[in-house]
Amino acid sequence: AQSVTQPDIHITVSEGASLELRCNYSYGATPYLFWYVQSPGQGLQLLLKYFSGDTLVQGIKGFEAEFKRSQSSFNLRKPSVHWSDAAEYFCAVGLNFGNEKLTFGTGTRLTIIP
């Protein structure tokens, strides 16, 4: 079965600083990969997804993620964070087309300091 690991439970960065959130997956083939963001008291919102093709994918709110097959990673990046980016971020993996289940990581809570 596929699995997702987000090694960082909590990250604190200064406003304007760059950000990288780590995500590693375990799956025999190339999975579908996702990043979702959850603001307090809200549901999860899709930031970006990777299905195939270009390994660098752009998402909403200025986020991007890079799929690295050799490292089984799909790290999320943003060059300059804003206070509104404070939230919980979830990496998720799905199997290839035909199986709609997503497995989520445990999440990384992002705190932004002025």
Question: Phi/psi of residue 40, each to 5°?
Answer: -55, 130
From residue 5 to residue 34, the character string flagging contacts with another protein as x (rule: CB under 8 A) and all else as - is ---------------------------x-x
How far is the first Cα of the chain from the last one, in angstroms, to the nearest whole number?
Answer: 41
Residue of 67, 90, 91, 112 that binds another protein (CB under 8 A): 90
CA distance 69 to 20: 18
Using CA of residue 94, residue 27, residue 103, residue 109, what is the dihedral sign?
A: negative
Residue of 41, 53, 54, 114 that binds another protein (CB under 8 A): 41
44 contributes a contact to another protein by CB under 8 A: yes
Residue of 17, 18, 46, 80 that binds another protein (CB under 8 A): 46
102 contributes a contact to another protein by CB under 8 A: yes
CA distance 61 to 70: 27
What is the binding site for another protein (CB under 8 A)? Answer: 32, 34, 36, 41-46, 49, 51, 90, 94, 97, 100-107
